Amino acid sequence: MSYTLDQTTDYSYRELHTFLDGINPPDFVKQAELDTKESTAKLDQNAFADRYNRAYPIHTPAATYVSHTHFVNKRASLEKKWGVGYAEEVAGRLKQAGELHKIASDLESYSQHVTKQAAVAPAEKLVFETEIHGQPIGLFAYKTAADLVKHAADFTTNINDYPFDIRRPIAKNFYKLAVEHNIDELPDLLCKYAGLFFPHTQLFAAELERRKNKLAAEHQPDYDKIIEKVASAASAADYYDICAQAYTAEKAAGAWDHKTTRRLLGDIVDTTHTLSAEKIASLLNVVEMAGNQYDLADLQKVSKDIYKEAFGVDLDPGSTDSLRDVLPTMPWSDVALFRELSGVAPLT
């Protein structure tokens, strides 16, 4: 799952505050209005360092500095995603813009700051700790964001090596650390175990029936008892618990001892939790903010002025795409202010 690319998609400026921590930005940055998707929408593509994605605006000294700040911190992940050539082109256009705006020394000073910070060896930490037979076990030692990215991929690739009951807490820890370290992407399967995807309730029982039919006949009656529980499932936790029971039944039936059967079954969370939060919101015509669901129709009745006062961003209430993209990123404190100003309450 992807998060932000540059300042125009860093809607609460959480990343920017992190990137600027410990330094004193130039006055021309402090005094400038930060760019948004709306404020850059009419700019020519040449006003961006990344012309293809219309990202990293460079039309002003402040825009160039902030774009450089985001890019320097994201360069490694961007090279992995789109290649070294992409990163070199963006870096080159940022450098040219810095020279044009006569702020090249400011950009270089920030780059040196990032390099210096990276040179400080961080303490090693663990993604997950538990006990097995009374003995402490630590998993996925990491120091950097790059370590976390690698471990997340390894965990997903080798997820069958981990007991089912610790997969979800491991995945949740990975997601929490990804947010803290500004990691832009995590594997979808990890996100599913972390609870960021939801079961397709209408297809859930059918998927369990499909899986049951891959088991030997003598094990199918026990599996039927698990399928019967789907009718009374009332929450995401209920569905996940059914997945755990089904997985245990499959293991007991020996299905996971055979490579062909494993391939045919597929990961049970992967095959049942197929709806992302964005998809759920789209289907239900709601938008999530600070852990609560809000009726989209109610949000569209709120004036632009209230959105600006509460969140500090220019939003077009008539644009459902803007509301869906921006509002889920807002911090709890801003959402509380929005509720007070607008009178809009979450769905119960």
pTM over 0.75: no
- At position 76, the amino acid (one-letter code) is A
Instruction: Report the distance separating Cα 34 and Cα 221, nearest Å.
Output: 62
* pLDDT higher than 90, residue 329: no
Mark 56-71 as b/e (b = at least 16 C-beta within 10 Å). bbbbbbbbbbbbbbbb
**For the chain, percent of residues with pLDDT exceeding 90:** 54
Q: How confident is the model at residue 58 (pLDDT cuts 50, 70, 90)?
A: very high
Q: CA distances (Å), 142 to each of 163, 181, 250, 336, in order?
A: 21, 12, 33, 36
Instruction: Report the distance separating Cα 325 and Cα 313, nearest Å.
Output: 12
* pLDDT higher than 80, residue 39: yes
Cβ(89)–Cβ(41) below 8 Å: no
Minimal CA–CA distance to 12: which of 337, 336, 327? 327
- At position 24, the amino acid (one-letter code) is N
Cβ(246)–Cβ(208) below 8 Å: yes
Q: Which contiguous run of DSSP H or E holds residue 281?
A: helix 277-284
pLDDT at 135: 77
Helix (H/G/I), strand (E/B), else coil: 331? coil
- Please report where in the chains the tokens 């175990």 appear, as a residue: 193
Nearest-5° angle of CA 261, CA 258, CA 223? 55
Instruction: Report the distance separating Cα 128 and Cα 167, nearest Å.
Output: 10
Q: How confident is the model at residue 116 (pLDDT cuts 50, 70, 90)?
A: confident
Domain ranges of the chain: 9-119, 125-193, 197-276, 285-342
Q: Residue range 255-271: average pLDDT? A: 92
Q: CA distances (Å), 279 to each of 35, 82, 197, 221, in order?
A: 28, 26, 9, 34
